[in-house]
Amino acid sequence: MQHKFSRVAIIGLGYIGLPTAATLASRGVEVIGVDVNEHAVSMITQGKVHFSEPDLDMLVRAAVMTGKLRAVVTPEPAEAFIIAVPTPLADDKRPDLGYIDAAARSIAPVLEAGNLIVLESTSPVGTSARLSRQLAELRPDLTFPHAAGERSDIRIAYCPERILPGRMVLELVENDRIIGGLTPACAARADQLYRIFVKGACLLTDANTAELVKLTENAYRDVNIAFANELSMICDGMGLDVWRVIELSNRHPRVKILQPGPGVGGHCIAVDPWFIVDGMPEASRLIRTAREVNDSKPLHVIERIRRHAQRFKDPVIACLGLTYKPNVDDLRESPALEITAHIARERLGKVLAVEPHIARLPRELAEFDNLRFCDMSDALAEADIAVLLVDHAEFRAIEAKELLNKIVIDTRGFWRDRLYVPDRYGRAAAE
């Protein structure tokens, strides 16, 4: 058994890397946090966080004050390197591995025999092996597991992350982890690292399986949400209440349909299934179609807004919520943001954008002269059409009387109980 880890470098201090760095530091490990973003490094150095996540600020402040976490822009030698850099989708819907490549180039000069490298970025199948080949080219003096197997100088494993924004600090410790080694010795070494802070089970497998497990989790969610979204479009066409149809269908003991929404956002579920499609296009017809169904849902909502807006001379449209999910400030890939921008761009009316979780209008909406950032009560007082896009807790407080005499388009089934014609979630008010 190799010795325990006393010095670990985390490459990429974003939503995943920073909580991981601070948690490891809280367990007494010396953590070198590396990020190319100088602003992030300077914030962390002051003990502050550059994005909002419950309890993370306290954890980071404590880690920095005790000297266990140090943020830098260039990697330094360590016993283990955890890579948590972005893996976005390129315009052609293919994975962009450029950030992983850059991270590999940056750690290559400081690698030493005996080191462990763990890739945490969500990645197409084969990426850990690709990382091993790439590092072998950069460091011909060291041996790597894709070629040297169990005798390699460097151990490489893949360990996907499945923490939920808003509960990251807790889930990082509590969730089960899948650890895929390029060899069994690689998996065993990574297991030693994660056991420092993970209370959940650490389940060992090979790297390719672990890579596909992460993609599978999100493709599963995407396909099931697509079913609900497709059903909502069918119900709209038939004049039926999708929420009631789902509620009643779910009384079957083996049926559990998810809830529809305005589309699928975030940079995981809306992105990761494409990594499977890219790897196996002919075998992944359902996964591709689900992606397309979910991507088409915002256009369906826009069409409904357009239809109602046409009935007014100068319609005022309140868009309630801009984030991709409730009770967070995350706008990435948000269908609510896409819908709001689209109706402003098309000039369907005067648009009032309401988002209690952010302080000012996001860049994507700043260009429109017919759009205003607005608080909830002003927007409701002025609007002819109220579009509920995100089920934030704040919007639950809205009373039925505030929605009276408005066209209500509720993409979340949130206000059913307070609309006067509940079985048509507002459509009946206009039609």
What residues make contact with ligand NAD under the rule CB under 6 A?
11-17, 34-37, 40, 84-87, 99, 102-103, 106, 120-122, 161, 165, 267-268
Q: Would you say 12 or 145 has its CB closer to ligand NAD? A: 12
Residues present in the chain in total: 431
Rounded to whole angstroms, the Cα distance separating 162 from 178 reads 10
Distant-in-sequence, close-in-space partners of 397: CB < 8 Å, separation ≥ 6 = none
Catalytic residue among 68, 159, 186, 214: 214
**Shortest distance, CB of residue 100 to ligand NAD, whole angstroms?**
8
Q: Would you say 32 or 290 has its CB closer to ligand NAD? A: 32
The residue nearest ligand NAD at its CB is 14
**Shortest distance, CB of residue 285 to ligand NAD, whole angstroms?**
24
Q: In angstroms, what is the C-alpha Rg of the chain? A: 24
**Shortest distance, CB of residue 426 to ligand NAD, whole angstroms?**
32
**SS3 of 46, please?**
coil
**Shortest distance, CB of residue 160 to ligand NAD, whole angstroms?**
7
Q: What is the 3-state secondary structure (H, E, C) of 378-405?
A: HHHHHCCEEEECCCCHHHHCCCHHHHCC
**SS3 of 387, please?**
strand
**Shortest distance, CB of residue 371 to ligand NAD, whole angstroms?**
27
Mutual angle of helices 56-65 and 17-26, in 10-degree steps: 50
Rounded to whole angstroms, the Cα distance separating 379 from 352 reads 6
Distant-in-sequence, close-in-space partners of 75: CB < 8 Å, separation ≥ 6 = 9, 11, 32, 34, 81, 106, 107, 109, 110
Rounded to whole angstroms, the Cα distance separating 191 from 204 reads 8
Rounded to whole angstroms, the Cα distance separating 31 from 396 reads 42
Rounded to whole angstroms, the Cα distance separating 33 from 41 reads 8
**Shortest distance, CB of residue 34 to ligand NAD, whole angstroms?**
5
Q: Is 268 a catalytic residue?
A: yes
Q: Would you say 86 or 422 has its CB closer to ligand NAD? A: 86
Catalytic residue among 268, 297, 319, 325: 268
Structure tokens at 198: 């993970």
**SS3 of 211, please?**
helix
Residue 431 CA, chain-centre distance (Å), reads 37
Decide if 270 contacts 294 (C-beta within 8 A): yes
Rounded to whole angstroms, the Cα distance separating 347 from 425 reads 25
Mutual angle of helices 242-249 and 207-238, in 10-degree steps: 120
**Shortest distance, CB of residue 65 to ligand NAD, whole angstroms?**
22
**Shortest distance, CB of residue 85 to ligand NAD, whole angstroms?**
4
Decide if 357 contacts 386 (C-beta within 8 A): no
Closest residue by Cα to residue 395 from 415, 379, 365: 415
Q: Would you say 36 or 185 has its CB closer to ligand NAD? A: 36
Structure tokens at 299: 């256009």
Query: Which H helix or E strand runs over 19?
Result: helix 17-26
Catalytic residue list: 214, 268
